[in-house]
């Protein structure tokens, strides 16, 4: 574990999918559906990959709109593809599972009066449904989804908005997530990060990005947070 740095911890922000809840999201199928919509809007579909994140899709669409002098705006693209992703996300909630250690770490933070935020590239409808399903509807003090930001992770806009809602400065917060984009978003927002590498290969990839801390589970993350709070 990394050497603990002193900090006055006032807020912990969490990623959603893969961090506190596991979703059986049909990624490739959702991208096929999105490519079909984009083709209908006049985009060159071969530019878009089945591996593209939502933010990558937006950036590729924006680039094509400039190059092809298309009259539509990015908001129109979002209005067409967000409902598709929403549909797949809501379907995935049916088979979703709470990640082990989620409730203990949230309860611990509540006991310590640490504010809790959720920052996700998922849509609000699916996220709220998942939180309700797993008994976490009132667990967070601030929730930011793709519906509230212009740029998704790996950009730090969502983290910055969550901190603004919480009225907490970035040096008094830490962001916890399981993906590369989570670490990059934390860096962009100038917030400390805890990367959760639940599998050996993911831990190695995350460590290469030099997050502030790397753990293998929420339980280990909770122990780290205890140490941070005690030594701050």
Task: Decide if pLDDT at 6 tops 50.
Answer: no
What is the per-residue pLDDT across 107-162, written as a single tens digit (0 to 9) for each?
Answer: 999 999 999 999 999 999 999 999 999 999 999 999 999 999 999 999 999 999 99
Q: What are 165's two structure tokens?
A: 């809602």
Q: Using alpha carbons, list the distances in angstroms from residue 151 to 64, 73, 145, 160, 169.
A: 17, 15, 11, 11, 20
pLDDT band at 7 (very low <50, low <70, confident <90, very high): low
Cβ atoms 184, 153 nearer than 8 A: yes
In what helix (H) or strand (E) does residue 184 lie, and over which residues does it extend? helix 180-188
Q: Can you point out the beta strands (E) in the chain? A: 11-14, 21-22, 97-98, 115-119, 142-144, 173-177, 192-196, 213-215
Q: Using alpha carbons, list the distances in angstroms from residue 70 to 45, 61, 63, 172, 189.
A: 15, 10, 10, 43, 32
Q: Which pLDDT belongs to residue 8?
A: 87
What is the per-residue pLDDT across 11-70, written as a single tens digit (0 to 9) for each?
Answer: 999 999 999 999 999 999 999 999 999 999 999 999 999 999 999 999 999 999 999 999
Q: Can you point out the beta strands (E) in 92-138? A: 97-98, 115-119
Q: What are phi and psi of 45, to 5 degrees?
A: -70, -25
Task: Decide if pLDDT at 94 tops 70.
Answer: yes
Average pLDDT, rounded, for the chain: 94
Q: Which pLDDT belongs to residue 160?
A: 98
Q: In sequence order, what are the residues at sequence separation of 6 or more whose Cβ sits closer than 8 angstroms to the Cβ of residue 3?
A: none
Distance CA 221, CA 232 (A): 16
pLDDT band at 92 (very low <50, low <70, confident <90, very high): very high
Question: Which whole number is the average pLDDT over 153-178?
Answer: 97
Residue 205 Cα to chain centre, angstroms: 17
Distance CA 48, CA 174 (A): 33
Task: Decide if pLDDT at 201 tops 90.
Answer: no
Q: Which pLDDT belongs to residue 145?
A: 98
| Residue 155: CA count within 13 A, CB half-sphere | 15
């Amino acid at each position: 574990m990394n050497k603990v740095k002193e900090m006055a911890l006032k807020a912990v922000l969490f990623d959603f999918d893969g961090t506190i809840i596991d979703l059986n999201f049909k990624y490739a199928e959702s991208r096929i559906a999105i490519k079909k919509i984009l083709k209908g809007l006049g985009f060159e579909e071969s530019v878009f990959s089945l591996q593209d994140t939502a933010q990558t899709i937006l950036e590729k669409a924006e680039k094509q709109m400039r190059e092809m002098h298309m009259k539509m705006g990015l908001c129109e693209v979002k209005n067409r593809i967000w409902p598709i992703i929403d549909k797949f996300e809501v379907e995935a909630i049916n088979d979703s599972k709470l990640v082990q250690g989620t409730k203990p770490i949230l309860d611990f933070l509540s006991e310590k009066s640490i504010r809790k935020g959720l920052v996700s590239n998922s849509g609000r409808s699916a996220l709220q449904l998942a939180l309700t399903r797993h008994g976490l509807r009132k667990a967070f003090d601030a929730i930011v989804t793709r519906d509230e930001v212009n740029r998704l992770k790996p950009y730090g806009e969502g983290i910055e908005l969550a901190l603004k809602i919480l009225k907490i400065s970035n040096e008094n917060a830490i962001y916890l997530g399981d993906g590369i984009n989570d670490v990059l978003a934390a860096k962009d927002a100038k917030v400390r990060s805890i990367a959760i590498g639940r599998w050996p290969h993911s831990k190695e990839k995350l460590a290469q990005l030099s997050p502030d801390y790397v753990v293998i589970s929420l339980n280990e993350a909770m122990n780290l947070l205890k140490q941070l709070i005690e030594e701050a």
